[in-house]
């Protein structure tokens, strides 16, 4: 399996420049060393033969390769036929690293046990990891080609801030397309089951929990669902639902003046006392105390 580039956002990756290169038969991608920026190659036609630090890649139509900024890359063979490829330079301004294996879903998530699904401070920016395949067959190659073409069409207007901003937005779409190719390749049946269960629980969080109703809704046995959610999210369906309800309650505590009893009912708790004890156990303070942290009383 190809290496995976993992980076932490924010900050988001930053687009530098791009273009479309055509090569005749025998043409080669230039050899360079430590250029200081990532180089994305997306082949639209033909084949490129590019190596990096002793590892050789055959990049055919609909495939993409990311060359690292800290390595030596080179062409080890000329194109057999006419070829055309998009190139794009970008920079990661935050932390990044190269890993050999795509983490399981549970390892890609923030530690919900200690922080909940939301940050303790609802206005704090919570970092997250993004994973990009260094070499991949694109899941949506035509959409990638169209996005790169639109991005390149703005190169003549980069003296305008609006064009630069549009290029950055298009580049984020390219990052998402690359990430989607990696996820599609590594999405296991257990992950798919757990994701379906999570979507159902979030849509029906106000309703009483029923393992059998959940199983019927997503067409999996409740025991299998519980196993999948534990492997992916590190908790049972009921625990996942409880944490989601608490996070919805946190939003209502900040956005409304409703009494705690009404909020408990709104997020699916039958008893306000159970809501308060659950909230206190997970957040470390009672609902009223949580609200007071963000209240301003006019004196």
CATH 1.10.10.60 fits 190-293, yes or no: yes
Q: Would you list the domain boundaries of the chain?
A: 4-185, 190-293
Residue 297 pLDDT level (bands cut at 50, 70, 90): low
pTM for the model? 0.72
Supply the CATH classification number for the domain 4-185.
Answer: 2.60.120.280
- pLDDT tens track for 35-88: 999 999 999 999 999 999 999 999 999 999 999 999 999 999 999 999 999 999
Residue 288 pLDDT level (bands cut at 50, 70, 90): very high
Label the pairing between strands 63-67 and 38-45: antiparallel
Strand partners, 16: none
Contacts of 65-68 spanning 24+ positions with Cβ under 8 A: 65/40, 65/41, 65/134, 65/135, 66/5, 66/38, 66/39, 66/40, 66/41, 66/132, 66/133, 66/134, 66/135, 66/178, 67/38, 67/39, 67/40, 67/41, 68/5, 68/38, 68/98, 68/134
Predicted pLDDT of residue 298? 47
Residue 120 pLDDT level (bands cut at 50, 70, 90): low
């Amino acid at each position: 399996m190809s290496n995976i580039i993992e980076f932490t956002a924010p900050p988001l990756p930053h687009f530098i420049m791009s273009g479309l290169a055509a090569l005749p038969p025998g043409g080669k991608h230039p050899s360079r060393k430590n250029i200081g920026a990532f180089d994305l190659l997306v082949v639209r036609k033909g084949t490129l033969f590019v190596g990096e630090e002793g590892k050789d890649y055959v990049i055919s139509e609909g495939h993409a390769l990311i060359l690292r900024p800290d390595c030596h890359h080179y062409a080890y063979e000329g194109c057999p036929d006419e070829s055309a490829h998009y190139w794009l330079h970008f920079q990661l301004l935050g932390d990044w690293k190269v890993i050999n294996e795509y983490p399981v879903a549970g390892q890609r998530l923030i530690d919900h046990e200690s922080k909940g699904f939301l940050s303790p401070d609802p206005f704090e920016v919570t970092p997250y990891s993004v994973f990009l395949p260094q070499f991949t067959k694109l899941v949506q190659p035509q959409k990638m080609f169209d996005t790169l073409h639109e991005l390149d069409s703005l190169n003549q207007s980069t003296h305008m801030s609006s064009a630069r901003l549009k290029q950055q937005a298009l580049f984020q779409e390219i990052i998402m397309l690359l990430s989607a190719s990696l996820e599609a390749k590594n999405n296991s049946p257990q992950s798919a089951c757990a994701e379906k269960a999570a979507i159902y629980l979030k849509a029906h969080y106000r309703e009483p929990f029923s393992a059998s109703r959940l199983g019927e809704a997503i067409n999996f046995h409740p025991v299998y669902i519980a196993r999948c959610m534990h492997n992916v999210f590190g908790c049972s369906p009921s625990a996942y639902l409880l944490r989601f309800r608490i996070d919805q309650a946190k939003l209502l505590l900040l956005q409304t003046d409703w009494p705690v009893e009404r909020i408990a009912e709104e997020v699916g708790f039958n008893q306000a006392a159970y809501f308060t004890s659950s909230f206190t156990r997970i957040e470390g303070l009672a609902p009223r105390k949580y609200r007071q942290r963000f209240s301003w009383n006019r004196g």
